[in-house]
Amino acid sequence: MKHQELKAWREKTNQEIEAELQTLSSKLTSAYLAKSANKLKNTAMIKNFKTEIARLKTILREREMESK
């Protein structure tokens, strides 16, 4: 995720971020299944999905801490 994309995610609502988290989680699950069936050609996708999920969760956590 580039700096501009991260800035754009910070401007979005929690619901939009949570929807993207669900999408990424399902893509990650699909990637794991494809890997186990030896059909995943780009295994770096798994790392990328995990990293994006962590970044979005971090944004949500920062907002939670700010509201307290």
The yes-or-no verdict on residue 4 having pLDDT over 90 is: no
Integer Cα distance of 56 and 51 in angstroms: 9
Q: Residues with Cβ < 8 Å from 54, sequence gap 6 or more? A: none
Instruction: Give the closest residue to 14 by CA, choosing from 66, 56, 67.
Output: 56
Using DSSP, state whether 30 is helix, strand or coil. Answer: helix
pLDDT tens column, 21-61 = 999 999 999 999 999 999 999 999 999 999 999 999 999 99
Predicted TM-score (pTM) of the model is 0.90
What is the per-residue pLDDT for 52? 95
